[in-house]
């Protein structure tokens, strides 16, 4: 089977840096993606790691270690609008399987 | 990027009835999927909608309960059959494989279903 574990909730203040971890057990691994979902909204793509290392996209960075079956999403210079749920997702053979999700609460 | 629309956006249905959800993508995509999401929970993949052939269902989901059609590269439907209150959820259509990036998956706004 497949499983992806994330912390259920993370809190931080504006301007801070937060890291959301994801550990996975899966077969047929092609890469690790991250999605953001605001309450009542659709998930939107943030980043994708196919290889080990760090990918940076503006304030967001994502890291992958295939040998450790581990990845994280790093959010810098947090803003109130970053309050949302964040999901890691494994790209397997032809399909995307989502993690348990992390609710990020950013306070002033 | 791909823009995905779904109809209806929400519905309230009686148990024992069926509802068909439509999904339209504004560009040709290679793969379309249907997910279910309880409020505050993660997304669970129901099935992959295959163009011109039977959908591929995930464990725990069967064709009789969730028949899916995909007559072309931009359109798919999901039917929730013989509904019960346990089927109350948000149903999301998703697509992947546009010309921009094949690793990016796009989602529709979802259909919020309540079964009484």
**Selected residue of A95, A97, A101 to mutate for chain B interface (largest B Cβ count, 10 A):** A95
- Is B85:B93 a contact under the CB 8 Å cutoff? no
For strands B89-96 and B105-107, give the pairing: antiparallel
Instruction: Evaluate if residue B99 carries a pLDDT over 80.
Output: no
Phi then psi for B42, rounded to 5 degrees?
Answer: -80, 175
Instruction: Evaluate if residue A104 carries a pLDDT over 90.
Output: yes
With 0-12 / 13-18 / 19 or more C-beta atoms within 10 angstroms meaning exposed / middle / buried, residue B112 is middle
A68: Cβ–Cβ under 8 A, 6 or more apart, which residues?
none
Cross-chain residue pair B103–A31, CB shorter than 8 Å: yes
- Say how far residue B42 (Cα) sits from the centre of its chain: 15
pLDDT at A92: 75
Neighbour-count burial for B55-92, b at 16+ CB within 10 Å, e otherwise: bebeeebeeebbbbebeebbbbbbebbebeeebbbbbb
Of residues B31, B42, B92, nearest to A94 (C-beta):
B31
A40 min Cα distance to partner chain B (Å): 8
pLDDT at A91: 84
Q: Is A81 left (phi over 0), alpha (psi -120 to 50) or beta?
A: alpha
pLDDT band at B29, cuts 50/70/90?
confident
pLDDT at B39: 86
Q: Give the pLDDT mean for B77-89.
A: 97
Instruction: Evaluate if residue A93 carries a pLDDT over 90.
Output: no
Instruction: Evaluate if residue B66 carries a pLDDT over 90.
Output: yes
pLDDT at A28: 77
Structure tokens at B70: 């995909």
For the stretch B36-52, pLDDT in tens is 999 889 999 999 998 88
Q: What is the mean pLDDT of chain A?
A: 93
Report the residue of chain B nearest A34, measured CA to CA.
B104
pLDDT at A72: 98
- Helix H segments across chain B? none
pLDDT at B102: 60
């Amino acid at each position: 089977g497949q499983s992806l574990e994330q912390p259920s909730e993370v809190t931080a203040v504006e301007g801070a840096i937060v890291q959301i971890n994801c550990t996975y057990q899966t077969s047929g691994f092609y890469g690790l993606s991250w999605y953001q979902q605001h309450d009542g909204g659709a998930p939107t793509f943030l980043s994708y790691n196919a290889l080990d290392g760090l990918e940076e996209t503006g304030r967001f960075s994502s890291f992958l270690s295939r040998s450790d079956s581990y990845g994280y999403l790093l959010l810098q210079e947090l803003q109130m609008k970053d309050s949302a749920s964040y999901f890691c997702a494994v790209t397997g053979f032809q399909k995307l399987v989502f993690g348990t999700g992390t609710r990020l609460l950013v306070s002033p | 990027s791909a823009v995905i629309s779904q109809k209806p956006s929400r519905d309230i249905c009686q148990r024992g009835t069926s509802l068909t959800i439509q999904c339209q993508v504004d560009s040709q995509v290679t793969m379309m999927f249907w997910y279910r999401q309880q409020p505050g929970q993660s997304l669970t993949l129901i099935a992959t909608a295959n163009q011109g052939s039977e959908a591929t269902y995930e464990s725990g989901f069967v064709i009789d309960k969730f028949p899916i059609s995909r007559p072309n590269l931009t359109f798919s439907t999901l039917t929730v059959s013989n509904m019960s209150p346990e089927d109350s959820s948000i149903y999301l259509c998703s697509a992947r494989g546009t010309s921009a990036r094949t690793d990016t998956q796009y989602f529709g706004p979802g259909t919020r279903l309540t079964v009484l």
